[in-house]
Structure 1
Amino acid sequence: MQLSQLRVLLAVAESGGFTAAAERTGMSQPHVSRSIAALETELGAPLLVRRRDGVTLTEAGHRAVSRARETVRHFDLIRPDVAGAGGQVTGPLRLASLPSTTGTLIAERLRTFSDRYPLVNVRLLEGYSPEIRRWLENGAAEIGVVILPEPGMHTVQLGTDAMVALLPRGHALAAAETVAVRELARDPFILTTGGCRPVILEGVRQAGAALDIAYEAGELSAIIAMVEAGLGVSIVPTLGLPADLGEVVTRPLDAAIRRNLALALPSLDRCTPAARAFLDHVLV
């Protein structure tokens, strides 16, 4: 059994297929397939169920991936830990971010961090809250941006993000200084499937309103386009909103609905030197 085989197994498990794993590892697809087949032969059990639309892990595969992730993680920490003893911070840093926070809260901090720690190899992943939580738990990312609360994680708050009403420019409420959540709830509502969904639903509940959810969408751009098309209204975070909203306007809400954003690590004691350095860099 070779370390390279374990890395291939993790790449296949995380990407869900041989082709995507080949792109991630820089190997050919046949090489990835042969590596997995050789590992299955050596372990004496099938690790993957091969399907036309990708692969899934068998029970043996889940166990193998768990051990492989732990083994690769400890191997990858040898060099950074030794370098850290000499005062250097090096090694990989996989940072997960929400799409709306990458450009607004993370990009500049990442630039100054890379200037300060040029030996750290940063890989940025983008996803929504459930994905980021899963990446942190399974070791696919060392540190990530989350929406509080995030129980079981060590978190450091980055800031708060106000939610606003999103309306077609010709809507009756578009000229109002503030929009009452109760009034907004009278229209067909387009609800995000992203991480701020629970924040919106709780804020609406506290305002004593009930939404008429007509559509759901994950991408902010899709929600904006649907509101512009007159399909409904929405509530969205201000971070990540484009400067030009076309025929859509935002208005403050009469009830303060905010999402609290934080950096999260599974454990402060067991985090990599690079992750700890990034956390300290943000706190400065």
Structure 2
Amino acid sequence: MKINQLRDIVTVAEKGGLRAAARHLGLAQPAITRSIREAERELGTTLFERRTTGIVPTEIGRHYLQRARAILLDMERARDEVRQMLGEQVGSVSFALSTVSHLALLPMALDAFRQRYPDVRLNLVEGLLPRVQAGLESGELDFYIGPLSEHALPKSLGAELLFEQLRVVLGRRGHPLSEARSLAELVDARWISTSVTETTDAELGPLFARHGLPSPRVDLHAQSAFSMLMAAASSDLLCMLPEQFLRYPATQQTLSHIQVREVLPAPSVYAVRRSQVVLTPAAQFLHELLARAANLSRR
């Protein structure tokens, strides 16, 4: 299989048709058609089928596309790696950070990276592992830093612990429970919850249970820390967030820290990347900067 055939297959799938793919690649449509037919003949199966909405991959084609995209991405990174080793400022680094990683790590790493690689483009995705795992496995993302999910990682991915963290209870300024000093005093409160698990009560319920308390009432399940902050600041709902949020200006201006005596563990933060793939020099440098920032943040 030739690289240009992989390129043509991926482009047809992404553009939804031969004409659009040919226009995007600056090639004649018959050349694209011939390239794909040669690939299908070599594989012994069809990769696309025509529908009223356009050309779409067959079931086998969808699986093959995953491999093809990964190969093309690795080829691109291989070119970037060689050119970066020769001192050229080329390429990009695509990575994902959880919200806590944004707050705790990125500010200590970004300036140093820009000084070393001023012309290398950064593609930053915000999200937790379940949202970005497919991108890691396909090679679209170089690495992720944040909590793991409840599911075991596939063998293609490896994780390195960066730091443990604790949570704090936050409520709006002037909250009726702002003077509470134990979880027992917060049992009847209403809460906002978010987690990397698929169960709405999996975050707060086990924590309260460890202290012999019933599960609290969760009135809002948010998908991001930003949503939690906004909801807590404009209601009597409480939330728990990693302690790094106490340094966030928006938290300081709108929320109060309810200082309960219990230790409130939060999910640990890991660096996750493909196990058998070497990062480009630029991606490795950014990864090291963020890991170094993690060491500083836990002191």
**TM-score normalised to the size of structure 2?**
0.68
Aligned partner (choices 179, 187, 190) of residue 182 of structure 2: 179
C-alpha change, 1:80 and 1:4, in structure 2 (3 Å) is same
| Alignment partner, residue 157 of structure 1 | 161
**Aligned ranges 1:87-166 → 2 under 5 Å:** 91-118=91-118, 120-148=120-148, 151=153, 152=155, 153-166=157-170
C-alpha change, 1:199 and 1:84, in structure 2 (3 Å) is farther
**Aligned ranges 1:1-284 → 2 under 5 Å:** 2=5, 4-6=7-9, 8=11, 12=14, 31=20, 42=37, 43=40, 44-46=46-48, 58-83=58-83, 91-118=91-118, 120-148=120-148, 151=153, 152=155, 153-176=157-180, 178-180=181-183, 182-193=184-195, 200-209=204-213, 210-230=215-235, 232-240=237-245, 242-245=248-251, 248-253=255-260, 254-267=262-275, 269-274=276-281, 275-283=283-291
Q: Which runs of 5+ in 2 are unaligned?
A: 41-45, 293-299
Asked which structure has the greater CA Rg, the reply is: 2
- Paired residues of 2:162 and 2:269 also in contact (CA < 8 A): yes
Deviation at 1:9, TM superposition (A): 5.9
- 1:179-217 CA-to-partner distances (Å, cap 9, x unmatched) read 31x432322222115579755554334333312222211
- 1:128-147 CA-to-partner distances (Å, cap 9, x unmatched) read 22112222122220111121
- Paired residues of 1:191 and 1:216 also in contact (CA < 8 A): yes
Q: Secondary structure at the match of 2:278?
A: coil
Q: What amino acid is the match of 2:258? A: R
Q: Which runs of 5+ in 1 are unaligned?
A: 13-17, 22-29
Partners of 1:48 and 1:216 in 2: how far apart?
42
Deviation at 1:162, TM superposition (A): 2.3
| Alignment partner, residue 15 of structure 1 | none
Partners of 1:189 and 1:49 in 2: how far apart?
48
| Alignment partner, residue 295 of structure 2 | none
Partners of 2:51 and 2:187 in 1: how far apart?
46
- Paired residues of 1:163 and 1:252 also in contact (CA < 8 A): no
Deviation at 1:56, TM superposition (A): 8.9
C-alpha change, 1:212 and 1:92, in structure 2 (3 Å) is same
* Deviating more after overlay: 95-104 vs 192-201: 192-201
Q: What amino acid is the match of 2:192? A: I
**TM-score normalised to the size of structure 1?**
0.71
- Paired residues of 1:147 and 1:195 also in contact (CA < 8 A): no
CA RMSD of aligned residues (A): 3.9
| Alignment partner, residue 25 of structure 1 | none
Partners of 1:31 and 1:193 in 2: how far apart?
41
C-alpha change, 1:69 and 1:204, in structure 2 (3 Å) is farther
What is the percent sequence identity of the aligned residues? Answer: 18
- Paired residues of 2:96 and 2:124 also in contact (CA < 8 A): yes
Partners of 1:74 and 1:247 in 2: how far apart?
45
- Paired residues of 1:91 and 1:121 also in contact (CA < 8 A): yes
